[in-house]
Amino acid sequence: MGQESRVMDLGKLLIAAGLAIAALGLLMKLGVGFGWLGRLPGDIHIQRDGFCFHFPVVTCLLLSLVLTLLFRLIRSD
């Protein structure tokens, strides 16, 4: 694969990633379909008098899995 072909592939990837980020941003702005994000079973939420702690463990794991699969799919040589 030549240098020019790699640059073209990188350009296509950057355009696709930009469009995906813009679409995700638009959906988040409109409040569509992300009510479950950070509220999955297994996410830690502790609330006491004057103290609140939230750590979305399962959401982080799910996001990591999805991104890993996506990047492996894109980078399949």
User: Rounded to whole angstroms, what are the CA distances from 20 to 27, 29, 35?
Assistant: 11, 14, 19
User: Domain tally for the chain?
Assistant: 2
Rounded to two decimals, the pTM is 0.56
Per residue in 6-56, pLDDT tens? 777 788 888 888 888 888 888 778 877 667 777 889 899 999 999 999 999
41/70 same-domain check: yes
Helix ranges restricted to H, 1-77? 3-30, 57-74
Residue 34 pLDDT? 66
Query: Do residues 14 and 28 share a domain?
Result: yes
More confident residue, 55 or 70: 55
Domain span at 3:
1-34
